Amino acid sequence: MAWCILNSQTPARGDMNIFAESFAVEDYFMQQARLNGQEVGAVDSTVAVGNFLKFIAQFSNAKSVVEIGTGSGVGALWLLQGMPADGVLTTIDSEREHSKITRNIFEEADIAVTKYRVITGKLIEVVGKLADNAYELVVIRAAVDLFEIVQESYRLLKPGGLLLIDHVLSGGKVADPTQRDPESIARRDAIKVIKEDDRWACTVIPIGAGLLVANKLN
């Protein structure tokens, strides 16, 4: 049976979320990307989650990374900071405006075009065209077609690769069974299917809007 750790809560002695979000500092380009995203309603990683993405990319030495749901490029900038010099990030979004904002901020940050691919299209269709067993890390931020994208992520990852789902708790809505909106249901179902799948080992971390981390076992 697959195992999945749900972190138990520690009695509050101050606001742990505020502390976590202030632990790392975003650079100018991350801050600018976040502001750009707010103007167009993009969904981006919080500072704490972004710093975790950087840590995971660095810790795993991930050279091939897929991000599904680019937003304004905040998460991508964090990932690129953690990836090795010869790493390549493929980031996908269904909104042309989001992709445009991301490309612009990458250019402003003087990131070499050989370090990234920004792709615009229907997420599940683009993901379906990516190569099998080719990536060390997959990051999902979008809720659209989440169940199908989770299944595809297993195909994309190399054995031992990592899957991260950002905003997996929708800021707490997923933990409330009375919330039956499509996004909450999709994220709740994604957690359930990964938790019950023997091919994954996983944990849910309550930072940002919630983060699921899963390891492909075989």
- The CATH class given to the 17-216 domain equals alpha beta
The predicted pLDDT at position 165 comes to 98
Domain ranges of the chain: 17-216
Burial of 166 (0-12, 13-18, 19+ CB in 10 A): buried
Run of H or E residues at 91: strand 88-93
Query: What 3-state DSSP class applies to 179?
Result: coil
Q: What does the pLDDT look like over 2-53, one tens digit per residue?
A: 555 444 445 456 788 898 999 999 999 999 999 999 999 999 999 999 999 9
Global pTM value: 0.91
Q: Angle at the Cα of 193 (from 57 to 157), degrees rounded to 5? A: 35
Name the residue with tokens 């937003």: 71
The pLDDT value recorded for residue 218 is 80
Q: What is the pLDDT of residue 12?
A: 53
CB 123 within 8 A of CB 69: yes
Neighbour-count burial for 93-106, b at 16+ CB within 10 Å, e otherwise: bbbebbbbbbbebb
* Segments of the chain scoring below 50 in pLDDT: 1, 5-9, 11
Q: If you ran DSSP here, which 8-state letter would residue 164 be given?
A: E
